[in-house]
Amino acid sequence: MDDEQHRSLDRTNEEDFVSSGSSVSRTQTEIEAMLVPQLLAAASATLGAMALGAAVGWSSPASLQLAEPPFGFGNNVLMITVGRLLCGVGGGVTSVAAPVYIGEIATPSQRGLLGSSFQLMLVTGMLLGYLLVHLYPGGGCQFFLDLSFNLYDSHDSCSGKSVYLVLRSDENGAKRALKWLRGKDYCITTELEEIQNSVAKQNIGSLTFRELSKPSILKPFTICVFLMFFSQFTGTNAIVFNLNVIFEASGGKMDSNTQSCIVGVVQVAATIISSILSDRAGRKTLLILSAFAMVICLIVLGVFFYLQKNDPALATSIGWLPLVSLMIYVTFFSIGFGPIPWAIMGELLPGNIKNLASSLASGVVWTSAFITTFFFDILVSKIDMHGVFWLLASFTVVAGFFVLFVVPETKGKSLSEIQQLFI
C-alpha cells in the first residue's frame, strides 16, 4: 500500500468515526487509548529522574552525617564524590533528553500533564531519598537506576520516535510510532503532515553556535535559559539540599528528618496538582502565581530568622512558622517553577536546535543549582540565614516580572503554532 492510500485510509477512518454519531462512551475510550501510551512513554523517559531525585533527597538527611568523618555512606571522601559525580552525569542526560522527547510525543491537550512528569519523578525520588536514607544508606539510588534501565529496555521500540523517523525519511515507521501513541482509531494524517512540514521548514541539520543568533532561534532559547536559571535562583535546590540544616537552625521541637519528609510529601502532592492544572490554567498563569507565593514565603522565612537573632523569645513562640512556610513554598514551586520550565523547554525549542539548545539550557539549570547550593553556607556565614532568604526573594521577584513580560502562553498550541510565535 503506497503513502497516498495510507492517507486515504486514515481520512476514511476519521470520517466514519465522525459520521457514526459516536457515543460519549466511545469518545472516552478513544481518549483513554490515546493517553495511556503517552503516559507509558513519558514514564519510561523520566524514571531516571526518580534516581536523580533520590540522590538529591539523600543529601539533606545525610548532610549532618557527612559533615565530618567517619562517614556512614562510604569509605572516604573520594568514593562519595565519584558516586555523586556519576549520579550527576546520569541525571544530566535524563534532564536533556526527557523534556524534548515528551514535547515531541505529547498532544497539545496533554503536553502540560506529561511535561510535568519529569519534575514529578524528581520530587518523588527526593521523598523516597528522605525515607530510605536511614533504612538503606547509599543503596536506594542504585535501586532506582536499575529500575529505570530495566523499564527503558522493556519499553516498546516504536514508542514515539515519530519526529526522529521523519528526520530519517522513514514515513512508514513514523506512522507506526504515531499509531502506537495515539491509538488505532486516531487519524494521524494531519499530525504527520505537520511534523513533515515542520522538519522541512527548519531545514534540519548540524547547527552551529553562530546560528543561535537568529531571532527565531535566539528568542525561545533565551526564554528557556532564563527560566532554567530562575528555577534555581528562587532557591529550591539550596533549600532542598539543606532542609535538615534549616530545620535544625530554626530550633523547632519536631525532629528535622520528620519535617523534611513532610515537605517532601507536600512537594509530590503539589506537583501532581500542577500536572492537572497546567493544561487548564496555562503555563504563564501558574508561573506568575508560583513566583508571587514563593516571594511571600521567602520573605516570611527571612523575618523568622531575623527575629530568632534579635528576639529569640518571639521566634520560639512561632517555631512552627519555618515548616509551614516551606510547605507553602514547595507547593507553589511545584505548581510553577518546578515542572513548567522543563515542559516549556520541550515546547519552545525548534527541532533543529533541540539537541544543542536543550543541552545548554540543562547545563544552565544544573550549574545554577551547583552555585546556589555551594554558596548557601558561605552566604549564611556572611549575611545570616535571614539575609539569604531575602536575597532569594529578590531573585524570585525578577523571575516573576520576566515571566509576565517575556514568556508566551503555550497552552493548547501545537508545536508548529508555538514556533510561529518567534518568526
- Residues 50-109 pLDDT 10s: 877 777 776 665 555 555 554 445 556 677 777 777 777 777 777 777 777 777 777 777
Residue 283: exposure state from Cβ atoms within 10 A (0-12, 13-18, ≥19): buried
Q: What does the DSSP 8-state code read for residue 21?
A: T
- Write the CATH number for 344: 1.20.1250.20
pLDDT class of 302 with cuts at 50, 70, 90: very high
Q: Angle formed by the axes of helices 283-310 and 354-405, to 10°?
A: 70
- For residues 225-257, one letter each, b for 16 or more C-beta atoms within 10 angstroms of the residue's C-beta and e for the rest, the string is bbbbbbbbbbbbbbbbbbbbbbbeebebeeebb
Give the model's pLDDT for residue 135.
62
Side-chain-side CA neighbours of residue 292 (13 Å): 7
Q: Is the entire prediction scored with pTM above 0.85?
A: no
Look at the chain and report how many structural domains it folds into.
1
Cβ atoms of 117 and 105 within 8 Å: the answer is no
pLDDT of residue 4 exceeding 70, the answer is no
Confidence of residue 299 (pLDDT cuts 50, 70, 90): very high
Extract the C-alpha cell encoding 312.
529569640
Report whether pLDDT(411) > 70.
yes
Give per-residue burial for 350-375: e unless 16+ CB within 10 Å, then b: bbbbbebbbbbbbebbbebbeebbee
* Residue 188 burial (CB count, 10 A): 24
- pLDDT > 50? residue 279: yes
pLDDT tens per residue, range 128-164: 877 776 565 544 444 444 444 444 444 444 445 677 6
Comparing 410 with 75, the larger pLDDT belongs to 410
pLDDT value for 422: 82
Q: Residue 348: which domain range?
A: 3-420
Q: In the structure, what pLDDT confidence band is assigned to residue 266 with cuts at 50, 70 and 90? A: confident
Q: What is the mean pLDDT of residues 244-264?
A: 76
